[in-house]
Amino acid sequence: MKYHIADRMDRMAPSGIRKVNEKALAMERAGEHVIHFEIGRPDFDTPEYIKQAACKSLADGNVHYTSNFGLAELRQTIADKLGRENHIDYKASEILVTVGLSEAVFAVLASTLNEGDEILVPDPVWLNYINVPNLLGAKAVTYSLKEESGFQMDLEELRSKITEKTRAVVIVTPNNPTGGVLSQNTLRQVAEVAIANDLLVISDEIYERLIYDGEQHLSIASLPGMKERTFTMNGMSKAYAMDGWRLGYVAAPEEYIAAMNKFHQHNTTCAPSFVQAAGVAALTQEGDEVAEMVKEYRRRRDYAVAAINDIPGIHCQCPKGAFYIFINCRELGMKSAALSVYLLEHAKIALVPGDVFGPGGEGYLRMSFANSYENVVEGCRRLKEAVKQVRQAK
C-alpha cells in the first residue's frame, strides 16, 4: 500500500526537543540513569488547591462540553487577571480559552495569515512559530536575538525585514530558549514599529511569572495604541505546573476572537470542562505556591550558571526569566546536534541542541533547570567531565 501523506507536511519539521526526549526515555528503559534537562516543563506537582477544584468539578458532574469560547467564569477571571496584573482592560468577550498555548498559537496564526504573507519571528525561538506559518503557506522571516546584546532585539534589523507582505511580529518574553527578558524600552520601540507599519503583534507571555533579579514583565498590549493590534497569549502550564492539563488562552479584540473560535470549534471544540474549573481556582486562590517555585528555580539557576561558567570551553549568560540556560559551546568545535548526542550517550545528560530553535541557535545547548537541585548539581558535574573529554580529544 502506498501512503498518501500531504505535501504540506514536508513544510513542518518534527520536534527536535522530543527527539532528544524519546532517545533519553529509551535509554532509561534500557536501565541507564539519564538526567533530563531537555523538556520545558515544571518538575513540581500541580498545587493541591487546583487539583481539588478539578476533583470537585468532576464530582459535581461537570463532564460535558462548555461554550466553545470557554466557561464564562473562566473568561471573566482571565480578563480580571489581565487587568489587575498586566494593566490591560479586556472584557470576557475578548478572551478565548484554548487547549494549551500550542493551540492558541495555531488559532492565532491560522486566523491572521494568508498564503504568501510574512511574519517576523525571533531566532532562536520555539519552533511552532516557524512550523505553523510554513504549514499555512506563509513565510516566517527571522530577526536575531544575539548573546552579545543580552538576547535583546535589534530594532534596526527588525525594521529592515519589514516588507509590504509583513503582517505581524512575534515576541516571546521571557524567551524560550534563551531565558532573555525584553526590556521595557525594547517593547516600547517594538510598539512604535508596529503602529508605524500597521503590524499585528503576537505576544507569547507564558513564562511571565518565572522572572528573576528584579526584572519586570511588561505586556505590550498595555502600551498606548497596542491593545487593538495585539494577541496576548498565556496559559497555566508553566506558572502553575499544569503543563499536562493543557489550558491556555488568547486575549484579543472581539473580531479576532470570533475568527479564532471558528478554528477552535473544528479543531478541539473546547478545553475540558473540569480543567477550566481548575483554571478559575488557579487564578483566584493562589497563595505562595508560585512564589515558592520561582524561589527554587532561582536557586537551581544560580548554581548551574556558576558551575557552567567554571567549565573551560563553554559559558552562558544568567537568564532573567523562564527556566532555561542557553549554553554557548562554540569553542568546542562541534555542531550542537552532535554535541547533544555525545552528552546523552557518554554523560547521560539530555540537553537540546540549539539549532532546534533556528539557525541562530547553532553552537548552543538549551538546558532546562526545571529538575531537582540534586540533579542540577549532578548534571553539571557530568557536563564538566564530558566537556573535558571533548576538549582532550580535539
For residue 21, count other CB atoms closer than 10 A to its CB. 17
The reply to whether 146 falls in a domain is yes
CB 258 within 8 A of CB 94: no
According to DSSP, the residues that pair with 367 across neighbouring strands are 325
Residues 257 and 306 in one domain: no
Residues 172 and 109 in one domain: yes
Domain count, the chain: 2
Residues 234 and 350 in one domain: no
Residues 325 and 186 in one domain: no
Residues 216 and 259 in one domain: yes
Kindly report the CATH number assigned to the domain that includes residue 160.
3.40.640.10
**pTM (2 decimals)?**
0.94
Residues 248 and 304 in one domain: no
| Residue after which a domain boundary falls, among 284, 303, 325 | 284
Residues 16 and 163 in one domain: no
Residues 240 and 310 in one domain: no
Give me the domain span that covers residue 63. Answer: 50-284
Residues 104 and 249 in one domain: yes
Contacts with 65 (C-beta within 8 Å, 6 or more apart), sequence order: 269, 270, 273
Name the H helices within the chain: 16-29, 48-59, 72-86, 100-112, 128-135, 155-160, 184-196, 254-267, 273-284, 289-308, 336-342, 373-393
Judged by DSSP in three states, 129 sits in helix
DSSP class of 315: E
CB 249 within 8 A of CB 103: no
Whether residue 124 is preceded by a cis peptide bond, meaning omega within 30 degrees of 0, is yes
The reply to whether 1 falls in a domain is no
Tens-place pLDDT, residues 336-363: 999 999 999 999 999 999 999 999 999 9
Residues 258 and 110 in one domain: yes
Whole-angstrom distance, CA of residue 207 vs CA of residue 223: 19
- Counting as low any pLDDT under 50, the low residues of the chain are none
pLDDT at 9: 79
Contacts with 362 (C-beta within 8 Å, 6 or more apart), sequence order: 335, 336, 354, 355
Kindly report the CATH number assigned to the domain that includes residue 389.
3.90.1150.10
